[in-house]
Amino acid sequence: MAIEQVQTDGPFHRGELDVQERLGVRTEVDLFARRAIRDYLPDQHRAFYANLPFLLLGAVDRDGRPWASMIAGEPGFVTSPDQRKLAIAARPLFGDPILNEIQVGADVGVLGLDPATRRRNRITGRIGRNDSSGFSILVDQSFGNCPQYIQERQVQILAGDGDGHAQGDPRREVFRSDRFDESIEKLLQTADTLFIATAFRQKDDAPNQGADVSHRGGRPGFIRIEDDRTFIFPDFAGNRYFNTLGNIAVNPSAGFLFPDFQTGNLVYMTGQADVVWDGPSVRNYNGAERFVRFRAAEVLRVEKSMPFRFTFGSYSPALVRTGNWLETTGKITADS
């Protein structure tokens, strides 16, 4: 059993600290986070990851662009040999943009999420071992997240990939573009879940830097399409660490992953993000504390990619305090 440790140097980089300072929570969050953010995996987290059929990853490609990705397997494909390591006996899914980007020493963010229980935990780390059977992740930081905004879904693992052939079959369709087509626009307009990857790394090797991947959820209609490359969505109250917004503050590159729970498709995007901090539109959107806007540079859709089917259970109780764009009209404006 690990002894609880208190970080002496602080768990946040300058972007996260700047956002916390801007919003008046820096001192309060620092006192809590020094205990809640660890440099090892508690035993309950190790057991949690081992029971999952998928993980979300955030990583940066060779051009410095973040991508959010999903990796999948039968429960048990993730193990934790010790408190500072995850071993993953799988490779990224066919068509995944980071399929060939997993290199030893590369930054990676991990999100473990169980839709059935709304439980989630996060890791920031680096790639250790990497071979044809899978890879390992060396833990720099780990912490838990609250269940807010996660929709309850039951996950059914399918034989093969659910499409009658093995992962990696070249018959699987992959669509590439620099903008949204009609099917992607429909997915965005009806989505209740997204995953966002961000990253920040200076020249030093500080453990409070690296890649991150995070969940965002809302009522269907919480994403608004502004044009065929741009969308905007609300940022609701969370743990106030501001990992995502802190990364965007110092590196606006971001990646998104949208699962289509009906078809099994996965839509990946990478591009640039910015934050709308305040203004009438923010104040008129129920539950919104600010907005995140994203403009895509590359968009991929991989057909029938997920080897699961999801059965919807219920929306997060936290969503009763939030709105959607059908209830919020007008041009997005920001106060100076």
Report pLDDT digits (tens) over 140-161.
Answer: 999 999 999 999 999 999 875 4
Quick one: pLDDT at residue 326?
82
Quick one: pLDDT at residue 168?
43
Ranges 22-31, 288-297, 320-329: which has the least confidence: 320-329
Residues 14-327, CATH architecture? Roll (2.30)
pLDDT band at 167 (very low <50, low <70, confident <90, very high): very low
Q: Which residues pair with 183 in a beta bridge?
A: none
Mean of the per-residue pLDDT values of the chain: 91
Quick one: pLDDT at residue 3?
36
Residue 75 has pLDDT above 50, yes or no: yes
Counted residue by residue, the chain has a size of 336
Quick one: pLDDT at residue 331?
62
pLDDT band at 335 (very low <50, low <70, confident <90, very high): low
What mean pLDDT comes out for the span 305-333?
87
- Please tell me whether the overall predicted TM-score, pTM, comes out greater than 0.75 for this model: yes
**Residues 195, 222, 181, 270: is their CA dihedral positive or negative?**
negative
| 8 A C-beta contact, residue 253 and residue 65 | yes
What mean pLDDT comes out for the span 95-112?
92
Quick one: pLDDT at residue 100?
83
Report pLDDT digits (tens) over 40-71.
Answer: 999 999 999 999 999 999 999 999 999 999 99
Residue 1 has pLDDT above 50, yes or no: no
Quick one: pLDDT at residue 50?
97
pLDDT band at 264 (very low <50, low <70, confident <90, very high): very high
Domain ranges of the chain: 14-327
Percent of the chain beyond pLDDT 90?
A: 83
Residue 336 has pLDDT above 60, yes or no: no
Residue 8 has pLDDT above 50, yes or no: no
Quick one: pLDDT at residue 99?
83
* Residue listed under structure tokens 């993730």: 78
Nearest Cα neighbor of 263 from 176, 166, 172 is 172
Quick one: pLDDT at residue 158?
87
Residue 334 has pLDDT above 60, yes or no: no
Residue 135 has pLDDT above 90, yes or no: yes
What mean pLDDT comes out for the span 87-109?
92
Q: Which residues pair with 79 in a beta bridge?
A: 87
